[in-house]
Amino acid sequence: MLQNIEYEGPVKPISQEIDAMKYRQKGESFHEKIKRIARTLADGIEHQYELEDILGEMRFLPAGRVQAAIGSNRITTAYNCFVSGVIEDNMNSIMEKASEAAETMRRGGGIGYDFSRIRPRGDKIKSLDSQASGPVSFMGIFDSVCQTIASSGHRRGAQMGVLRVDHPDIEEFITAKRNSDKLTGFNISVGVTDKFMEALTSDVGDDFDLVFEGHVYKTISARSLWDTIMDSTWDWAEPGVLFIDRISELNNLHYCEEITATNPCGEQPLPPYGACLLGSFNLTKYLETYIDHQGNEAYRFLFPQFKKDIHEVVRAMDNVIDRTIYPLKPQADEAKDKRRMGLGVTGLANAGEMLGFSYASENFMTWAEKVFACLRDTCYKASALIAKEKGPFPLYREDYLKSNFVRSLPASVKSLIREYGIRNSHLTSIAPTGTISLVADNVSGGIEPTFSHYYDRTIQTFDGPKTERVEDYAYAKGVEGRAANDITVQEHLSILLLAQNYIDSACSKTCNVGDDVTYEDFKQVYVDAWRGGAKGCTTFRLSGKRYGVLQTVEEEDKEEKVEACFIDAETGQKECA
């Protein structure tokens, strides 16, 4: 019987250490952690046993906050990240949102903001007979809050700051992080509109207006502004680019919400007070060995098990919404009105290459597309069937079926939604999965390739310092996959675009840029991402200035000195709060 199995968890020492430190309660074993989570999220005893098997075998990895908070004695939220309420152009609103941000980070959540409603620097404030200091200056308040408030789990909180590309202060915003010591509690992204991209790619002219509240402050060259953005990303890996019109165009809730910001790692575009509930299926655990016709051991992917698990997990994660605490009441209301979640995958590179498909090759893409389609279709089917039993999310309307993403679902799934509604407004997302993938014996994170096949870390023991080699999951099993920096930036982009086609929220994907990529080709990556249907794009150059900053950070000081979300210089893991 499943309930009598003792789940031992990860094998690698580093994985065991991190799991114990971050996700277990004091004195709790891996097995006890699994029992705690399954018991808290189950709809009944059979569901509990199914969850214990799924979680115990690490086929599904709930986000770290879920693992740490659910059923524990910690007064923390199971949600990883939030987006702030609307920051209006007045001091009361700004300080209120800063206070709310402090409470959110204190309870363990990262947070994103849109600063586009704050008037530009130098604008006249009639009531005070003075001049406005602009959104970038007010970001300093939120940055100070982040540096002061340690989020649950002993890490400083993560933040994402967004400014629209047509805001008059956009140039100041773009260059604000060309440094290693300012706004370090923030990731920043430019909210790029289709209108801007059309001006950029126009053969007629590239005039583009910077506006605030309908007033044109100045007209600039779109290409010149684009070069300013690209110069910063080339050297400093920021700002990121969010295609905000694409986000709106593909939003399932187009009829009842507006999205202008994302969570800190960008995989969840969210409305004001929106929250992201994350978890990832570990694709390496759906591989079964067999002997092929030549007598060699090989792997095959177990789609039937994958589908079965998705049904159980959607039910469990839907229960998180009602069985966790929220830092703020508006966050709870927003979550319960829409019941969105973001289920994704991790270990894509490892699993595909263990099947014999080189990362980003034609065979790899064919297999990955089947995985993404299975994830999308099964999640939506599972949610519709739960709606039959428990009812749809409160803000469900027939307009839901008119959304561009829902129209892409199979007819059989749309028929279920038409009949029963759907329990969850959004269901899929690709997160970075840095820490949870490391805890699962260092599988490749999210949809990223492995960063390196192994690295050495120094640990302190009673007998003195000891060097321990940490190997990539597939490499440890004799499969040497392609490393991130051996893959062309266009291959990275092809994976992002393929995944985004099947994901209702967004995808965290870093497109690594090698030294052989010219600056002009680098700029084209972002244009190709927009044309290809991406909701955003992030690149990273090993020879950029930010990587040099990361390389100088000592191991024991990493959590204090690095950016809000960062790519670890040693492991390649992308992490957020």
Q: Which residues are catalytic?
A: 263, 265, 267
Q: How far apart are CA 110 and CA 242, in angstroms?
A: 18
Closest CA to 240 of 265, 271, 209, 268: 265
End-to-end Cα spacing for the chain: 37
Helix (H, G, I), strand (E, B) or coil at 268: coil
Residue in the block written with tokens 């200091």:
133
Q: What pairing do the DSSP bridges indicate for beta strands 464-471 and 240-243?
A: unpaired
Q: Any idea which residue has 């390389």 for tokens?
A: 551
3-state SS class at 376: helix
With the C-alpha atoms ordered 559, 565, 567, 573, is the resulting torsion angle positive or negative? positive
What phi and psi values does residue 129 have, to the nearest 5 degrees? 50, 45
Any bridge partners for residue 124, and if so which? 131
3-state helix, strand, coil in the chain (%, to 5): 45, 20, 40
- Amino acid of residue 199: A
How far apart CA 462 and CA 482 sit, in angstroms, is 37
Mapped onto helix, strand or coil, the DSSP state of residue 52 is helix
Rounded distance between C-alpha atoms, residue 431 and residue 428, angstroms = 10
Q: Is the peptide bond before 120 cis (omega within 30 degrees of 0)?
A: no
CA nearest 492: which of 459, 528, 449, 532? 449
Beta-carbon-side half-sphere exposure of residue 498 (alpha carbons within 13 Å): 22
User: Rounded to an integer, what distance in angstroms lies between the CA atom of residue 30 and that of residue 53?
Assistant: 13
Return the structure tokens found at 501: 């086609």
Among candidate residues 426, 427, 431, the one with its CA nearest the CA of residue 577: 431
**Residue 469, Cβ density class (10 Å: 0-12 exposed, 13-18 middle, ≥19 buried):** exposed
Count Cβ atoms below 10 Å from residue 125 Cβ, excluding itself.
13
8 A C-beta contact, residue 376 and residue 409? yes
Residue type, 11: V
The DSSP code sequence of 109-154 is -EEEEE-TTSPPTT-EETTTTEE---HHHHHHHHHHHHHHSEETTT
Q: Name the amino acid, one letter, at 551.
A: Q
Instruction: Give the torsion sign (CA, 17, 433, 257, 166).
Output: positive
Measured distance CA(129)–CA(132) in Å, rounded: 10
Work out the burial of residue 383: count CB atoms within 10 Å of its CB; fewer than 13 is exposed, 13-18 middle, 19 or more buried.
buried
Burial of 286 (0-12, 13-18, 19+ CB in 10 A): buried
